[in-house]
Amino acid sequence: MQFKLKYEGNWVESERVVSLPTGLWRFQKPVMKTGKCCQCGWCYIFCPTGSVHEKDGYFVVDLENCKGCGVCASVCPNYAIAMVKEAVE
Amino acid sequence: MKVEGAAKGEIKVCDGNRAAAYGVLLSKPNVVAIYPITPQTSLIEYLTEFKASGLLNAEIVEVEGEISAMGVAIGTSLAGGRTFTATSSMGLNFMFDTYFMASLSRVPVVMVNANRELSPAAVSAGQQDIMSVADTGWVHIHTEGCQEILDSIIMAYKLAEAPEVLLPVTVCYDGFYLSYLAEPIKIPSQEDVDRFLPQIPRPRLGLDPPMSGASTMIPEELTEARYKHQAALERAKSKIEEVDKEFAKLFGRSYGGLIEEYRMDDAEIALVSMGSHTGTARAAVDKKRQQGHQVGLIKVRVFRPFPWERLAEALRHKKAVGVIDRSICFGWNCGHLFHELQVTLHRTGFTTPTLDFIDGLGGGDVTMVHIERAIDITHDASRGKPFNELTWLALE
């Protein structure tokens, strides 16, 4: 018998839930256009999955959990985020 | 009304609901969440009375329905508390969603079900309600008398919280017959119960480490959880026997664990029964013994997990077996206990004639006359006389 769960029932350590890759079914991804960002942080505030992180005053997207919903692109006042289709093989 | 605490070894005249309330009081739950329904209502009244008089140190949550009652029980149990709830009949049906969730979440909730018929408007005894939720992964303990109700609730907490089990347990008693039947019972002392029920650490919601309980699972995880759940039910069988022995050592009362055998040693034919009418069946067996019939009785105490190994052992070499059922397994033309027994016989390769007797539906009495008739028919079958597999005793 091969087991993966540490506990009986559906108990999991919350750390594990956060680290699960949940963005695998994304068909488009946000791409930040350098030079256009005004550092307002709206993408960071509005991202429903918490996938936008701050880095040196600017913002980067963690694609592990990004679903490609495009909320960040639509709230960006400077049109600094482009939604780009994921490559299809 | 004056309420007295549970002094050492005190004897009180209690009905089933009050006996259950004492069982809960002694088990010291942190949270009690119940919605009233006949015939369980007075159980809540007793518990709130205990709380008002300062005996019961638990949070009593007045919920808006049974589904929330079980929701509160699950939530507080996930947080690490000892919780209690109780219901009956369509209250149990209304609870179904969260009832199933409780067992997969592996929360050691203890619940009481006062067995009652289901609609339309059947405010009467019967086991149809609890049978409709038999396959939800809970442990179901059926009781025969008020003392057994009290003792079973204390034993239920011991079983539910055991680290190798961690399953919710329902203590069932036939509504009306036991909920309102008053008899003298012995109230165990609080010190003894405290010694019997220590707090055992288990996974719970908290920050060290941060844990997620009752979470959604992917197919592989759910399959694994189901496998472990079923394995825990199997382990519960031996744990039930162990808890019963430990209880007997401390309190001097034993109920035989999974099943109780009554005058079975030299019996040629056996009667199988579950619930309040087992008392009547004992009297009927005694009477038939006096008339020279070699008849014995098996009381099934635990319906889930089904104690088929012990039943098979007890029924080995018997010439015929009669089952008394208080519910119908629709679509199989028999009662639930009989249905389970058929599987037991198939697994063990016995070809013993087995007969089913459905009686006591809608609050009807399972009378001495009916049980004696069941014994007579089973006796005839053991002598090779042709028999009907199913007899509706009240319709004969």
Percentage of chain B beyond pLDDT 70 is 98
Q: State the average pLDDT over residues B352-359.
A: 95
Percent of all residues in chain B with a pLDDT value above 90, rounded to a whole number: 88
Q: Hey, which residues 23-52 in chain A have their CB within 8 Å of chain B?
A: none
Residues of A in contact with B203 (CB under 8 A): 7-9, 11
Confidence class of residue B121 from pLDDT cuts 50, 70 and 90? low
Q: Is the ipTM of this complex over 0.85?
A: no
Which of B211, B216, B232 has its CB closest to that of A13? Answer: B211
Burial of B67-95, coded b for 16+ CB within 10 Å and e otherwise, reads bbbbbbbbbbbbeebbbbbbbbbbbbbbb
- B12 residue type, one letter: K
State the pLDDT at residue B203: 84
Average pLDDT over residues B122-137: 94
Best probe of the A interface among B202, B224, B235, B239, by most A CBs < 10 A, is B224
Question: Could you give the CA distance from residue B174 to residue B145 in angstroms, rounded to a whole number?
Answer: 9
Q: What is the rounded average pLDDT of the residues B119-132?
A: 88
The confidence score (pLDDT) of residue B221 equals 87
Per-residue pLDDT at B373: 96
B235 in Cβ contact with B297 (< 8 Å):
no
The residue of chain A nearest to residue B216, with distances taken between CA atoms, is A10
Distance from CA of A17 to the nearest CA of B (A): 8
**pLDDT of amino acid A88:** 66
Domains of chain A, earliest start first: 35-89 (3.30.70.20)
* Cβ separation B228–A5 shorter than 8 A: yes
Interface membership of A9 toward B (CB under 8 Å): yes
> Does A10 sit within 8 Å of B214, measured CB to CB?
yes
Is residue A68 over pLDDT 60?
yes
Give tens-digit pLDDT for A1-51. 888 888 888 887 777 766 778 888 899 999 998 789 999 999 999 999 999
Mean pLDDT within B241-264: 95
Strands B259-262 and B295-300 come out as: antiparallel
Please report the pLDDT score of residue B2 as a whole number. 42
Instruction: Give the pLDDT confidence score for residue B6 in this predicted structure.
Output: 47
pLDDT value at position B7? 47
- pLDDT (0 to 100) of residue A12: 79
Q: Tens of pLDDT along B266-284?
A: 999 999 999 999 999 999 9
What pLDDT score was predicted for residue B189?
93
What are chain B's domains? Answer: 10-251 (3.40.50.970), 259-395 (3.40.50.920)
Cβ of A8 within 8 Å of Cβ of B228? The answer is yes
Q: What is the pLDDT of residue B205?
A: 87
Q: Which residues pair with A81 in a beta bridge?
A: A32
**Mean pLDDT computed over B73-102:** 95
At residue B264 the predicted structure's pLDDT band, cuts being 50, 70 and 90, is very high
Tell me how many helices (H) and strands (E) chain A has: 3, 5
